[in-house]
Structure 1
Amino acid sequence: MGGTASLTTRILDLTVAGHLVPTPCLEVGTGPAALLLPALSSISAREEMRPLARELAGDHRCLVPDWPGFGAHARVRVPLEPATYHAFLDALVAAAPGPYALAIAAGHAAPYLAAAARRHPGAFGRLVLVAPTWRGPLPTAMGKARAPWFGRIRKAVEMPLVGEALYRLNISPPIIGRMMRAHVYAQAEHVTPEVIRAKHRITRQTNGRFGTAAFVTGGLDPVGTREDFLSLFGPDLPPVRVLRPERAPRRSGAEMDALIEAGGVEARPVPGALSPHEEFPREVAAAIRA
């Protein structure tokens, strides 16, 4: 499947939180519409969904947008908070209504998609959540006890000059490579110099540090507790399939398992860590179709 399908780029001029947000979208394939939402992370961009979109292109007409504040292009400054991202999906569904036979969300995009499906009944035929997460890296690693530090860290990275220097130190190619080998990809040999260079280019975009600072410190977490995360799912949603990577990091994997064990979703194992859709697109596509 996929492979040679022609890719095009479409710009949607969306108004989000009172700001004009030109939103580049990758389009590929034919058939029923599918919306593919990339993860939110320091290295997030619509390009990460390109391999999966190609795999699905024989079955679906795929639309892959960049999130505000992320992507391999200069970023418009918008309020970096959950309300902005809920509003973004509302604006996206209004501008490109589908309806979508399939909606796929990776990582932190998953709870935003679930919430959007509640607000827009009938917009999505079924949901697929790939390695779903709801808690940013620092809250996950450090816990609530150190929460007061998260806002201070975010403010430091957002400062002029000093913040840019801090950001550059923490998104250097060696650090990106180490991060990807630690929990983004499952197989170290897949973290090639070419992959690292591509990810580093994403981080170097104008205003890049603001989205990273918000995400890493938990500022884009759409919920505050596991209970709130689980409450997003229920019988009023379209059918939900969770793709649980076999080598997801322990803490993130525990949240995925809690969602699966709560019931109301169907689970399928896939290879990979936090970005299986990028590292193992063929296997993820097969799990989506199965």
Structure 2
Amino acid sequence: MANPVPTTRTLDLTVAGWRVPTPCDVIGEGPEALLLPALSSISARAEMRPLARELSGSHRCLVPDWPGFGAHDRVRVPLEPATFHAFLDALIAAAPGPYALGIAAGHAAGYLVAAARRHPQAFGRLVLVAPTWRGPLPTAMGAGRADWFGRIRRAVEMPVVGEALYRANISRPVIGRMMRAHVFADPAHVTPELIAAKHGITRQRGGRFGTAAFVTGGLDPVGSREAFLDLFGSDLPPVQVLRSEGAPRRSGAEMDALCASGRVVATRIPGALSPHEEFSRETAAAIRGV
């Protein structure tokens, strides 16, 4: 299937009492696969399209946006882990699969694994691409400044002042530096066109709320490495971790701890924190075992 074009399906979900219309890409033919994009300031389902296209010859891929993220106006919902767990429950109820593959990138990993434990018949296999569990500020500065992270989040969420703070810190130059520093492994892949597309995601109405929650650790699915590893029990389907070779040091150490736990099968792939987007062909080959 050469360069297939995704169609868009909107799931009208109710999440913890909130109506959350959820646009999804649908692409490919074959057994069902659910692909969850990473959570970040530039999170959108478009980042999973290169990987979905690579898998489209063997799987029918469903790629949703997370609540509060994506290249569209965001519905205001409580941005906390309970909302994201409830979102996956609602999504699986509306589109039950069953899924031969559940694929999650970055921070989506913990949420997918937890969903697989709650829905033991929903997934045949899980693939975690460069999995993370801790937001950028806690990763860089440690958990001891949680009160300060909360103040930052509240400041960005404020009317007027918060929007100004957000726009000053999510400009095109800032996005370019961020992507070259730890999102993509090859700086040459961070083109002006890509930066413009990512900047467009951040300019969506309500964009600052998801960013503030994620960056400050407010969307961390667990609070420690031990709690993250404890998610991987014997009640799960087979789990493959794709450990990106160029991941930042601290995030890479968490991936290595999971790979060394004996609870997953580990495969090394090129890339940094977004190998599914930057090296989609290699990522798909690792998923297929080629």
Same fold (TM over 0.5): yes
1:147 aligns with 2:130: no
**Are 1:17 and 1:79, in contact at CA under 8 Å, matched by a contact in 2?**
no
Partner of 1:115: 114
1:263 match: secondary structure = coil
Q: C-alpha deviations, 1:12-42, integer Å up to 9, x for none?
A: 0000121100000000000000000000000
Partner of 1:279: 278
Provide structure 1 residue ranges, at least 5 long, that are not aligned to the other structure: none
The code of the aligned residue for 2:103 comes to I
Give the Å deviation of 1:145. 2.1
Report the Cα distance in structure 2 between the residues aligned to 1:115 and 1:146, rounded to whole angstroms: 27
1:200 aligns with 2:199: yes
Give the Å deviation of 1:234. 1.6
Give the Å deviation of 1:6. 2.9
Partner of 1:19: 18
1:63 match: secondary structure = strand
Give the Å deviation of 1:3. 4.0
The code of the aligned residue for 2:154 comes to K
Partner of 2:51: 52
Partner of 2:266: 267
Question: Counterparts in 2 of 1:78-157, with a 5 A limit?
Answer: 78-157=77-156
Q: C-alpha deviations, 1:111-156, integer Å up to 9, x for none?
A: 0000000000110000000000000000000002222100000000
Q: C-alpha deviations, 1:135-182, integer Å up to 9, x for none?
A: 000000000222210000000000000000000011000000000000
1:10 aligns with 2:9: yes
**Are 1:24 and 1:66, in contact at CA under 8 Å, matched by a contact in 2?**
yes
2:144 match: secondary structure = helix
The code of the aligned residue for 1:289 comes to R
The code of the aligned residue for 2:115 comes to A
Report the Cα distance in structure 1 between the residues aligned to 2:260 and 2:270, rounded to whole angstroms: 20
**Are 1:3 and 1:55, in contact at CA under 8 Å, matched by a contact in 2?**
no
C-alpha RMSD of the superposition: 0.6
Provide structure 2 residue ranges, at least 5 long, that are not aligned to the other structure: none
Q: C-alpha deviations, 1:207-248, integer Å up to 9, x for none?
A: 000000000000000100000000000211000000000000
Q: TM-score, normalised by structure 2?
A: 0.99
1:230 aligns with 2:229: yes
Partner of 1:69: 68
Q: TM-score, normalised by structure 1?
A: 0.99
The code of the aligned residue for 1:183 comes to H
Partner of 2:173: 174
Report the Cα distance in structure 1 between the residues aligned to 2:2 and 2:263, rounded to whole angstroms: 34
Report the Cα distance in structure 2 between the residues aligned to 1:60 and 1:262, rounded to whole angstroms: 29
**Are 1:34 and 1:62, in contact at CA under 8 Å, matched by a contact in 2?**
yes
**Are 1:158 and 1:213, in contact at CA under 8 Å, matched by a contact in 2?**
yes
Report the Cα distance in structure 1 between the residues aligned to 2:287 and 2:255, rounded to whole angstroms: 17
